[in-house]
Amino acid sequence: MKNNNKQPQTNSTSKENESPPVIDWQRDYEPSGFKKTERHSNGFWVKIKPIFLAVISAVAIGIVLGSIMLNLFTTVKNDSEPPGTSPASIQTTEENDEEESKTNRASDHRKETEIKSMQAYVIQGGVFKEQPNAEEWLHTFQTEGHNGVIWNRDDEFYVILGLFTTKEKASRQVIKIKEQGLDAFVKQWTTDSVRVNLNEEEEQLVLQFQEIWLHFMKALETHQLNESSWEDKLNKLALEKESFIQLHKKTSDLLQDLNQKSAKEVQFALLKAWHHFDEAIREEMNE
């Protein structure tokens, strides 16, 4: 006998294939039952993330803008202030300007000055076309006790020995030289009168040198030398050109302690001073 009661068929396959719903909470079972607790993943970070990003962005933007503004103000300051406007640089600039002003004033007041002719009697030991030959011959005189200078004039090199106020005194010295087997003769040596452009300090040096040189030449006759007048006058000069500075220095060195020197040493000192003077004037003329 057939059972006409039909049992409902359950679609087991369909239920098995259905995925369980996804929920953000889990059940926590307790003895008294269960309760539902929601645990959101990264819930706190999701809430503060926009605030955190905003703060970081603001800080970064502030740093960038601050750097730009700082550079901008620095550039504006540098553009508005000329170089060297700090107190130290201002003082240095003022000092430099003062020195430059002094130099310019001295240069602007250059005038034509007449250099008077100078002359004396000297002993000429020889004249050469080549300077090494003149130096070698001067060395021969020096080994015999006769100091001198090599004086370049008109592309010739003269060996000049001694300096005298009269021809007679120079002739007596020539006799002594010839007795040593050396040849020499008396010559009147002259530096020509010329006109050169000098500033006030240089003019004072030139005029005072000639005055003092003539004084010492005359003093050779009386053997009463006083070098203090040279130092008192020339130490106060503020010279600019190297040629005149060297003239001042070399001549001052040569003319110190003249009272302690022999007549022969004084003659040689005056000869070298005259030589330095002539070189300085010629160098000034060639500029």
As a whole number, the mean pLDDT across the chain is 76
Listing DSSP states for 265-280 in one string gives HHHHHHHHHHHHHHHH
Q: Are 160 and 148 in contact (CB under 8 A)?
A: yes
Predicted pLDDT of residue 68: 80
The pair of structure tokens assigned to 260 is 């302690």
Question: How does pLDDT run across 14-52, given as a tens digit for each residue?
Answer: 444 445 554 444 444 444 444 444 444 456 666 677 777
Percent helix / strand / coil, the chain, rounded to 5: 55, 20, 25
Question: How does pLDDT run across 63-101, given as a tens digit for each residue?
Answer: 877 778 777 766 555 555 555 445 544 455 555 555 555
pLDDT above 70 coverage of the chain, percent: 65
Distance in angstroms (rounded) separating the CA atoms of residues 127 and 160: 9
Nearest to 212 by CA among 239, 183, 235: 235
The SS3 assignment for 96 reads helix
Predicted pLDDT of residue 139: 96
Predicted pLDDT of residue 147: 92
Kind and range of the H or E element at 54? helix 43-80
CATH no. of 115-190: 3.30.70.1070
- Could you list the beta-strand ranges (E) of 63-155: 111-115, 118-128, 148-153
Report the pLDDT averaged over residues 237-241.
82
Q: Rounded to the nearest 5 degrees, what angle is found at the Cα of 52, between the Cα atoms of 48 and 53?
A: 120
Distance in angstroms (rounded) separating the CA atoms of residues 284 and 287: 6
All structural domains of the chain with their residue ranges: 43-79, 115-190, 199-287
Kind and range of the H or E element at 192? none
Q: Which has more confidence, 207 or 158?
A: 158
Report the pLDDT averaged over residues 258-284.
86
Give 108's pLDDT tier (boundaries 50, 70, 90): low
pTM of the model as a whole: 0.61
Q: Which has more confidence, 116 or 57?
A: 116
On the question of pLDDT at 258 being above 60, the answer is yes
Q: How far is CA 93 from CA 101, 102, 103, 280, in A?
A: 12, 14, 15, 33
Predicted pLDDT of residue 119: 94
Question: How does pLDDT run across 167-199, given as a tens digit for each residue?
Answer: 999 999 999 999 999 999 999 999 999 999 999
